[in-house]
Amino acid sequence: MQFRTRAIHVGQDRDPQTGAVVPPIHLASTFVQPGAGEWGEFDYSRSGNPTRKNLEQTVADLEGASATGGGALAFASGMAAIHCVTAMLRSGDHVLAGSDIYGGAYRLLHKIMNRAGVEVTLADATDLDEFERGFRPNTKLVWVESPGNPRMSITDYAAAAEMAHEHGALMGCDNTFATPVLCRPLELGADIVMHSATKYYGGHSDLMGGLLAVGDKSLFDELYFVQNATGAIMGPLECFLTSRGIKTMELRVKEQSRTAQRLAEWLDGHAKVKRVLYAGLPTHPGHAIAKRQMQGGFGAMITFELDGDFAETKRFCEATELFQLAVSLGAVESLIEQPASMSHASYDAEDRAKHGVTDGLIRLSVGLEAFEDLKADLDQAFD
């Protein structure tokens, strides 16, 4: 079956008791067992829940994890999912991460995992020679994003995975911006794929959640052990909402990507814009790689740099109307934010400057509104 068909049917079997085409939400926290010391499929909802299982089956199928014996896990947030990955590490281990990553991931790696003795290096994952110089004998995990956040850099997932494996490390990636609609990193050699389900998987700004997809059964079992031990699971209602969002994800993402492409092309020729960072533009340095590893579009996230200072950029972000000033992304409504003061404020100022998170950057999450209306909104903000 094609992607959009599987998104509707896999893990979403009709209810055998009532014939309901939408599976019921199981809010139960505990389940009666057949006998003392005899365990049924479900015992306690931290360890497993029917509604969460349905969602995880769908995700595993769409990400390509189930095809190789792996699976998917649903978490309370995207950061909880990343934390589960890093919780497998031990004191003295080293993480090599891309320099264009979400501010929350930066904070976790530099200000939480360091307390456990985990070392971290940021390097430009778009320059594989430079990136390889970041490896150490104790590197256990590579963590990258493509497109990156907020500079929309493109990492060659296949090459990064091959490099990680040559150095004896796992390769994990945050594929939130691309979604499995456009890119499936497990098929390119990645070991772990993470999504903030709050974004495109849910798609309607009404849930918090995170997802991991893993192709290897033993690695999946280890991550499940950590999740069950630490307990940051996605609740049944959020699982239901995510499953509902998945059914329209392909339609949403492809339409949003089409609008984003048109907006990026228009912004690229605007006199008040210094530069546009969008992989769909032939001038983007990662365009060729993105064209190879993303199918059906280049995503709905655009970053551009205003020809102005911090205050002018702030005023621009506050002047839009359809583009609502808010963090997060990936939903039906369009959002705008200033990374330096919002999503990436957790970066140390020195690292913001070092890794190109300038005061003039503006990040757009393009929703499902009409292109003409979104263009008009940005036009009046420029004025």
Quote the distance between the C-alpha of residue 113 and its chain's center.
Answer: 20
Active-site annotation holder among 6, 46, 244, 291: 46
CATH topology of domain 250-382: Aspartate Aminotransferase, domain 1 (3.90.1150)
What is the tens place of the pLDDT at every residue in 52-96?
A: 999 999 999 999 999 999 999 999 999 999 999 999 999 999 999
Cα end-to-end span (Å), the chain: 49
Active-site entry in 199, 252, 314, 352: 199
174 is catalytic: yes
Q: In the structure encoding, which two tokens stand for residue 59, read together?
A: 């995700």
Q: Are 63 and 180 in contact (CB under 8 A)?
A: yes
pLDDT band for position 343 (cuts 50, 70, 90): low
- Tens-place pLDDT, residues 280-320: 999 999 999 999 999 999 999 999 999 888 899 999 999 99
**For residue 157, is pLDDT > 90?**
yes
Residue 111 falls in the annotated catalytic set: no
Catalytic residue among 93, 100, 102, 314: 102
> Is the pLDDT at 271 greater than 70, yes or no?
yes
90 has catalytic annotation = no
Tens digits of per-residue pLDDT, 221-253? 999 999 999 999 999 999 999 999 999 999 999
Q: How far apart are CA 216 and CA 193, in angstroms?
A: 12
**Catalytic site includes residue 199:** yes
Instruction: Looking at the structure, give the CATH architecture of the domain made up of residues 3-244.
Output: 3-Layer(aba) Sandwich (3.40)
Q: What is the pLDDT of residues 102-142, one digit of tens each?
A: 989 999 999 999 999 999 999 999 999 999 999 999 999 99
User: What does the pLDDT average to over 345-364?
Assistant: 76
**pLDDT greater than 90 at residue 212:** yes
CB-based contacts of 135: which residues, under 8 Å, 6+ apart?
Answer: 96, 163, 167, 169
- Percent above pLDDT 70 for the chain: 97
Q: Provide the pLDDT for residue 296.
A: 96
Q: Of the listed 93, 100, 124, 174, which one is catalytic?
A: 174
Residue with tokens 């546009």: 276
d(CA 75, CA 352): 29
Domain ranges in the chain? 3-244, 250-382
CB 131: neighbour CB atoms within 10 A? 25
Which among 253, 240, 257 is positioned nearest to 179, based on CA atoms? 253
